[in-house]
Amino acid sequence: MIREAFTNHPTSVGESYGQHLIHATSFGVRMMLGGMACVLHGILPFLFMKTGSKQIETLHGKMVVNRSKMPQPLDFVI
């Protein structure tokens, strides 16, 4: 039961626990850095003018566009 708590979601997106840990952590770090760049851009508008939007595009591509191309696991109801 405990093991399933750590593996159900990663399996549902076609990843192992370790792969999911790496991907989710890299996304989180990119989001934090992009967010800090946006805050600095708000204070100093001449800095990081495209950083936030580039991060959003990159993360969207990795999470939504590329993942939708992966074969989805089959759900069988018995």
Tell me the pLDDT tens digit for each residue of 15-61. Answer: 899 999 998 999 999 999 999 999 999 999 999 999 999 999 999 88
What are the sequence ranges of the domains in the chain? 22-66
When pLDDT is averaged across residues 2-11 and rounded to a whole number, the result is: 90
What's the pTM?
0.70
Which is it for the CA torsion 39, 52, 31, 9, positive or negative? positive
- Give the whole-angstrom CA distance, residue 24 versus residue 63: 10
